[in-house]
Amino acid sequence: MKSLLPHFIAAGVFAAALSGSAQTAPLTLEPVVTTTARTQDPLVVITDPRAAAQPAPAHDGADILKNIPGFAVIRKGGTDGDPMFRGMAGSRLGIIVEGEEVLGGCGMRMDPPTAYIFPAAYDRITVIKGPQAVRYGPVSPAGAVRFERDFERRKEPGSSGFATATLGSFERRDGAFDLRGGTADWQGRIATTYASMDDYEDGSGQTVHSAYERWSTHAALAWSPADHTFVELTGSLSDGEAAYADRMMDGRRFDRQNAGLRFRHQPTVGRVRSIEAQAYVNAVDHVMDNFSLRTFTPTMMMPGMTVANPDRLTYGGRIELDLDLVDALDLDVGLDHQSDQHRIRRTMNQAAMPFTAMPRSPNATFHQTGVFAEAAYAISHDRRIFGGLRADSWRARDQRSVVRVGMGGNTAPNPTAQTQRTEVLPGAFFRLEQDLPSGSTLFIGVGHTERFPDYWELVAPESATSLSAFQLDPEATTQVDMGWLLQSGPLDLSLSVFANQIDDYILIQRNTLKPHGMADGFRKATIARNIDAYSLGGEFSLGYRLAENWRGDLSLTAVRGTNETDDLSLAQLPPLEGRLGLTYEKSSWSTGLLWRIVAAQDRVAIDQGNIVGQDLGTSPAFDVVSINASWAPTERLRISAGIDNLLDVTYAEHVSRGGSPVAGFIQTTRVNEPGRFAWLKCDYQY
Ligand SMILES: [Cu+2]
């Protein structure tokens, strides 16, 4: 059996990750623009966050996922869109940054976790589709997206670096550098990113309220006294401001401060293959208002100059042991914890009562502690099984003494004030992978997870019968994932399909009529409620080397879902989408074409959705053509350029936020996507 182990490890990134080995970034810059990220292993997609990509090189953690089939971004303005995979957004999709689950502070969801991610500062993005991993915190039903930085002990003193700059239409300006160096024992790393863009225009030349500016700095100091031991202290600072086309406020501060300590040791003898531990603290301070980035206009909701300043302090840690108990079995066991405290202060009249003079009032606290065990076992040279189990203990407290009701700052006593709730929730998966002689792999897995409602579900909306939704039930997803991978000669193919049953799916529904309370009549409220639902769909991609220099790519994604409780379509699901790519590559350069075709969506449930947004109505089909070219005159330098939406088509994604009236801008049904967008990117590595 011992001889199977190398094969087994080579067979899956999963196994590589379990054994603690890090993959390093490629040393040469490939002259290719990524339009479709490929699935290399069952349910795993790995992508290089620094690669030239189309649509335009990403500036936040959501945009970078757009070229992975199945992902979409819910647009709000120029930045900070919410990533969605297979129609699941918000906390259904885990975003893990170097082992930490990042949580935003904005009750209006201006800052999804990806708003605090600056892709150029990371070495690798790994997506695990479906509830098929238990090691990265509570199991997310849609899957987990991990942003990671590598560490490799130096053989000799030295340094390396990466620098990138992007120029684009609408005054797009991005720049980043990442320097690392030191000796075998000590290494330092510093990475800085900057991105900004002016308001963009849609295809018909209408300006969209969408300008943004963002920056980040990350520093790390690592001590590695031996080949198998590593301790690293890290710190990050970032901030930004962003205009929103879909609401009455803009974000003028997205301040994040982060510190972390990591330890890893790989003993050379004994049954413990590696031990890893980390601890972190994360503080997010966010300010939004209705006057800094737009002309102040009094409304019924906000008659005065209004500012809200939520903040969130998160701390946590994890410890994990990789055990080598039996040949061909890889077992990981561990424990993780996260606590967070959310507070807010606000003013409805900034001139008379500045928000900085108001007290910060606690909103809610969450505590989660989980234990997990995950195993991989090679049954034979061509058959592997994977399985995992975890249990999470949750505790949440509602600290609001009052809740806001209706318009103009009216409040009422919070019916769940100081209520504490606790739950113990399971997560589990099992998967079988079988290699076939033809160079292909078949896999089937089943996963189950019970998700504790998040801050946005418990604290922001009302329930159907109360002014507080704090007593929502957890959401339970059981999902089957299966598929086929084939790599044979000029062909590579991947198919992954899923079907799930979701009990107590947490639905956010707006415009629900509720009694007015003080006066007769009704008011419209946004409520959270549990329904039963199912969804199914998948991704298919095919790459084919047509001739020595030509490569064709095709991908198709589909998802369909039903709200069984209301006998409606499940809301906020993207329509059928296809992408066709053609690339010509020759030694140091390449040129490519991407044609993205999206079907109409007529399966909708108006006013129903998730914490990001709700269905606005049906949407028409559209298609977008983009072109790109890339040239790498040396191994260290790459220049790439592209034109996205070459034909300047006016369109919006089906799953998008609705347009809001902003003084000086034309209101649209959805937030329209950018029109023709030309970009030039230069990367340098040494
Ligand atoms: Cu906000």
DSSP string, 397-410: EE--SEEE-SSTT-
Residue 655, pLDDT score:
97
* Tokens matching residue 29: 């810059």
Average predicted confidence (pLDDT) for the chain: 92
Q: What is the mean pLDDT of residues 577-606?
A: 96
Task: Determine the Cα angle at 133 with ends 554 and 118, to 5°.
Answer: 65
Report how far apart, in Å, the C-alpha atoms of 355 and of each of 238, 290, 293, 294, 311 are. 22, 13, 17, 18, 13
Q: What is the mean pLDDT of residues 26-50?
A: 81
**Is the predicted pLDDT of residue 12 greater than 50, yes or no?**
no
Task: State in Å: Cα 321 to ligand 1 middle.
Answer: 39
What CATH number is given to the structural domain containing 441? 2.40.170.20
Q: What is the mean pLDDT of residues 50-68?
A: 87
- Residue 150 identity (one-letter amino acid): D
Task: Report pLDDT digits (tens) over 209-229.
Answer: 999 999 999 999 999 998 899
Q: What is the mean pLDDT of residues 45-61?
A: 86
Task: State in Å: Cα 287 to ligand 1 middle.
Answer: 6
Task: State in Å: Cα 675 to ligand 1 middle.
Answer: 26
Domain that holds residue 116: 4-685
Task: State in Å: Cα 256 to ligand 1 middle.
Answer: 14
Percent with pLDDT over 90 in the chain:
82
Grade residue 326 by pLDDT with cuts at 50, 70 and 90. confident
Cβ(285)–Cβ(253) below 8 Å: yes
> How far is residue 370's CA from residue 334's CA, in Å, rounded to a whole number?
8
Task: State in Å: Cα 618 to ligand 1 middle.
Answer: 28
Task: State in Å: Cα 382 to ligand 1 middle.
Answer: 51
Report how far apart, in Å, the C-alpha atoms of 655 and of each of 18, 87, 332, 621 are. 36, 9, 38, 13
Three-state DSSP class for 90? helix
Residue 17, pLDDT score:
33
Cβ-in-10-Å burial (0-12, 13-18, 19+) of 587 comes to exposed
Task: State in Å: Cα 249 to ligand 1 middle.
Answer: 7
Total number of domains constituting the chain: 1
> How far is residue 492's CA from residue 33's CA, in Å, rounded to a whole number?
18
Q: How many CB atoms lie within 10 A of CB 255?
A: 16
Task: State in Å: Cα 405 to ligand 1 middle.
Answer: 18
H or E, element range at 10: helix 4-11
Q: What secondary structure, in 3-state letters, does 338-400 show?
A: EEEEEEEEEECCCCCCCHHHCCCEEEEEEEEEEEEEEEEEEEECCEEEEEEEEEEEEEEEECC
Task: State in Å: Cα 116 to ligand 1 middle.
Answer: 13
Assign residue 45 a region (left: φ > 0; alpha: ψ between -120 and 50; beta: otherwise): beta
Q: What is the DSSP letter of 339?
A: E
Task: State in Å: Cα 306 to ligand 1 middle.
Answer: 12
Cβ(270)–Cβ(26) below 8 Å: no
**Is the predicted pLDDT of residue 50 greater than 90, yes or no?**
no
Residue 519, pLDDT score:
59
Task: State in Å: Cα 348 to ligand 1 middle.
Answer: 15
> How far is residue 474's CA from residue 502's CA, in Å, rounded to a whole number?
11
Task: Report pLDDT digits (tens) over 332-352.
Answer: 999 999 999 999 999 999 999
Grade residue 408 by pLDDT with cuts at 50, 70 and 90. low
Task: State in Å: Cα 252 to ligand 1 middle.
Answer: 9
Question: Who contacts 7 (Cβ-Cβ below 8 Å, separation ≥6)?
Answer: 378, 381
| Torsions phi, psi for 357 (to 5 deg) | -90, -10
Task: State in Å: Cα 604 to ligand 1 middle.
Answer: 27
Q: Which residues surround ligand 1, an ion (CB under 5 A)?
A: 106, 108, 110, 288
Say which residue, 159 or 120, is predicted with more confidence: 159
Strands 522-547 and 475-488: unpaired
Q: How long is the chain? A: 686
Task: Report pLDDT digits (tens) over 223-259.
Answer: 999 889 999 999 999 999 999 999 999 999 999 999 9
Residue 518, pLDDT score:
58
pTM over 0.95: no
